[in-house]
Amino acid sequence: MKFEVTILGSSSATPVFNRNPTAQLLNCNEKIYLIDCGEGTQHQLIRFGLKASKIDAAFISHLHGDHYFGLIGLLSTMHLNGRIKPFRIFGPAPLKEILEMQFKYSDTVLRYEIEFTATTADVPEVIFENGDMTVETIVLNHRIPTTGFKFTEKKRQRKLLSEKLEADQIPVEYYPLLKRGLNLELPGGKLIVNADYTRDSEEPKSYCYCSDTLADGSYLDSLRDCTMLYHEATFLDELLDRANMTHHTTALQAAQIAKTVGAGKLLIGHFSSRYKTLIPLLEEALTVFENTELAIEGNTYAI
Amino acid sequence: MKFEVTILGSSSATPVFNRNPTAQLLNCNEKIYLIDCGEGTQHQLIRFGLKASKIDAAFISHLHGDHYFGLIGLLSTMHLNGRIKPFRIFGPAPLKEILEMQFKYSDTVLRYEIEFTATTADVPEVIFENGDMTVETIVLNHRIPTTGFKFTEKKRQRKLLSEKLEADQIPVEYYPLLKRGLNLELPGGKLIVNADYTRDSEEPKSYCYCSDTLADGSYLDSLRDCTMLYHEATFLDELLDRANMTHHTTALQAAQIAKTVGAGKLLIGHFSSRYKTLIPLLEEALTVFENTELAIEGNTYAI
């Protein structure tokens, strides 16, 4: 199953010359989900040759503008481009009010339905589930109610060992049962032992998205053993006081969190506009957690 | 006096690869005014090396997103960058409600004051005046309440004829009176005839901004003899039906309006995303009105 994330924006509060505010596109088995949507996200989609029409849902972490000011424009453009497929939005309850007010005053009646699910930042909750994946909120600690999101693949069926099945001439009609893990006793009494003809499928992968938050450890349980952790790393650790004051995280802290929770890989982003080059942020994280990468706009990272 | 306009966005409803939604920056004697503010306007300012901090006021024509979705982000960025100078906004009344709601939910208390003036689309009104300039609304005919804006220089004082003043040894203390057009009789009875020592100043220039509107002639009185007319030209005239249906103007109609009102120059913009090249729009306008230019992003046009 395809499971990858494309970075559309990696800047924090204000855009800078070559960095846009936060937005990511997650591809889970060809279902496309937008995570946060800073101003100019629709421009970034155009820039990277990605189609807004393919997006199925948006997950908005909180109502600071650098995480959602681009949503209303994207929704408007999809309307103007003829979208009729419903669009799901997960985010703080007032987001619905903000969007509806803007549609009201522009006298816009969308051609497609918005299915809005309000998130709360009280306890982690499963907010979405389909055949491939479950999405659960991560309760972050920011200046206003903020959630991250944990996207977890569902456990796949067992994999068939084709050569063995063919060698023993096991009838094809039993394959679906074997995939589901059953042992079979045939009418003549012959036993088909599942373990002889199947192997376990890969462990489900997970992607945790954490932006923005104070690195206070309160949400680490949500991140345990995730395959890839995206964590904001707004500042270098020399600005730890500023990070604490603004409820943000330093690159060093992000790496410590990745290490503590046993993440497979760390992706850092949400960089302060003061950093012209991002290498020092990467180097700082690498001192603690080796498998770290910078979230670079336009890049796609396999989870 | 400097009087010029820089184009920040020239696209209509949706952004396209190389065109942003509508925004312009007007420089009137080094006071900087933003006219409309589509999504990504703050990115365009960065791109063209222009400073948001220098902007004194914004004039918003109407509440279709391609004309104002970028305002909230720009206001937020100015706040984060430490602005304390008040910022004036002229636009439809609900704009205030939309901005305030977004600041409320992001828990933002701006460091600077927003001085909001609600426009109405009933009759033309003078909404702003300073020593250099008067701004009057233009009542346009769009699908929702929409105003254009007419920026008119104030008549300058008379110009002194320095050589003549010096030759006749006219005392400097009389210069301010002469600039104001007075004739003077000195204590000894000597007459200083104003016309001998001054000439009339240049005629005040004016810039009319018309976007978006049906080209129905209802607002032409507001445009008479303007120095430069910016008029939307969303479509080629072959799409006149579509222009009428969506309350927009064709390039041909924009040129006819410029000719009818006796504009000095026509600038066309707000181009539909369907036009990959803009030359046909320019050529169509040129068949009717010779002094036409395309509004090209990043270009500055002297008024």
Rounded to a whole number, what is the distance in Å from the CA of A128 to chain B's nearest CA?
Answer: 24
Residue A247 marked ligand-binding: no
Q: Which of B20, B65, B81 sits opposite A76 (nearest CB)?
A: B65
Q: Based on the structure, what is the number of domains in chain B?
A: 2
Average pLDDT, chain A: 95
pLDDT in tens, A117-175: 999 999 999 999 999 999 999 999 999 999 999 999 998 899 999 999 999 999 899 99
**Three-class secondary structure of residue B123 per DSSP:** coil
Domain of A276 in residue numbering reads as: 3-156+202-302
pLDDT digits (tens, 9 = 90+) for B167-201: 999 989 999 999 999 999 888 888 999 999 999 99
| Residues of B with catalytic function | 66
- Are B22 and B5 in contact by the 8 Å Cβ rule? The answer is no
Query: At B196, is the secondary structure helix, strand, or coil?
Result: helix
Q: From chain A, pick out residues whose CB is under 8 angstroms from the CB of B40.
A: 39-40, 43
Q: Is A93 in the same domain as A132?
A: yes
- pLDDT for A74 equals 97
- The last residue of one of the domains, among B174, B199, B224, is B199
pLDDT tens digits, residue range A35-60?
999 999 999 999 999 999 999 999 99
Q: Rounded to a whole number, what is the distance in Å from the CA of A17 to chain B's nearest CA?
A: 6
**What is the reported pLDDT for A40?**
96
CATH at residue A289: 3.60.15.10
Q: Do B135 and B282 belong together in one domain?
A: yes
Q: Tell me the count of A-B CB pairs closer than 8 A.
A: 102
Same-domain check for residues B139 and B185: no
pLDDT confidence bin for A189, thresholds 50/70/90: confident
Band of pLDDT at residue A303, cut at 50, 70 and 90: very high
Say whether both B127 and B209 belong to one domain: yes
Query: pLDDT class for B256, splitting at 50, 70, 90?
Result: very high
Q: With 0-12 CB in 10 A as exposed, 13-18 as middle and 19+ as buried, what is B241?
A: exposed
* Interface touch A105/B39, C-beta < 8 Å: no
pLDDT at A1: 81
Which of B147, B174, B199 corresponds to the end of one domain? B199
Preceding peptide of B212 cis, ω within 30°: yes
Taking CB atoms and an 8 Å limit, are B43 and A39 in contact across chains? Answer: yes
> What is the predicted pLDDT for the residue at B17?
78
Same domain, A186 and A211: no
B76 touches chain A (CB under 8 A): yes
Of the three residues A144, A170, A199, the one that is the final residue of a domain is: A199
- Chain B residues whose CB is inside 8 A of the A66 CB are 76
pLDDT at B92: 98
- Verify cis geometry, omega within 30 degrees of 0, for the bond prior to A212: yes
B285 and B230 Cβ atoms separated by less than 8 Å: no
Q: What is the mean pLDDT of residues A84-90?
A: 97
Q: What was the pLDDT predicted at B16?
A: 83
Contact B14 A43 (CB under 8 A): no
CA distances from A266 to A35, A225, A270, A275 (A): 17, 12, 13, 20
Is the predicted pLDDT of residue B78 greater than 90, yes or no?
A: yes
| Catalytic hit among A66, A107, A225, A241 | A66
- Partnered with residue B136 across adjacent β-strands are B126, B150
- Please list every residue in chain A whose beta carbon sits closer than 8 Å to the beta carbon of residue B22: none
B98 contact residues in A (CB cutoff 8 A):
98, 101-102, 105
Q: Is A97's CB within 8 Å of B101's CB?
A: yes
Chain B residue nearest residue A78, CA to CA: B14
Both B55 and B129 in one domain: the answer is: yes
The answer to whether the annotation marks B64 as part of a ligand binding site is: yes
Inter-chain CB proximity B65 and A15 less than 8 Å: no
Q: Is the domain of B95 the same as that of B184?
A: no
Q: Which helix or strand (DSSP H or E) is residue A300 part of?
A: strand A300-302
Does residue B72 sit at the A interface (CB-CB below 8 Å)? yes
pLDDT band at B225 (very low <50, low <70, confident <90, very high): very high
* Cα–Cα dist B11/B18, whole Å: 9
| Mean pLDDT calculated for residue range B89-100 | 98
Distance CA B223, CA B240 (A): 22
Q: What pLDDT is recorded for position B187? A: 83
Mutant choice from B39, B72, B99, B276 vs A, greatest count of A C-beta within 10 A = B39
For residue A15, the chain B residue with the least C-alpha distance is: B43
Instruction: Compute the nearest-CA separation of A232 from chain B (Å).
Output: 18
Q: Test B64 with A143 for CB contact under 8 angstroms.
A: no
In a shared domain, residues B252 and B108: yes
Nearest to B144 among A40, A46, A106 (CB): A106
* Whether residues B167 and B275 fall in one domain: no
In chain B, which residue's Cα lies nearest the Cα of A20? Answer: B43
Contact check, Cβ <8 Å, A106/B63: yes
Same domain, A214 and A165: no
Compute the nearest-CA separation of A145 from chain B (Å). 9
Q: Summarize pLDDT for B122-141 with one digit per residue, the tens.
A: 999 999 999 999 999 999 99
Q: Does A39 touch chain B (CB under 8 A)?
A: yes
Give the nearest chain A residue to B49 (CA atoms): A17
Q: Half-sphere exposure (CA, 13 Å, Cβ side) for B106?
A: 25
| Region of residue B235 (phi > 0: left; psi between -120 and 50: alpha; otherwise: beta) | beta
Q: How many CB atoms lie within 10 A of CB B279?
A: 9
Question: Residue A51 burial (CB < 10 Å; 0-12/13-18/19+)?
Answer: exposed
Residues written for chain A:
303
Query: What is the pLDDT at residue B121?
Result: 95
Share of chain A above pLDDT 90, in %: 92
Residues 172-231 (A) with a CB less than 8 A from some CB of B: none
A66 belongs to the catalytic site: yes
- A249-260 pLDDT, tens digit per residue, is 999 999 999 999
Residues A18 and A140 in one domain: yes
Interval A221-243 mean pLDDT: 97
- Distance separating the N- and C-terminal Cα atoms of chain A: 11
Question: Which chain A residues have a beta carbon less than 8 Å from that of B99?
Answer: none
Residues A213 and A128 placed together within one structural domain of the fold: yes
Per-residue pLDDT reduced to its tens digit, B6-50? 999 999 988 887 899 999 999 999 999 999 999 999 999 999 999
CB contact under 8 A, B98 and A97: no
Convert the pLDDT of each residue in A5-28 to its tens digit. 999 999 998 888 789 999 999 999
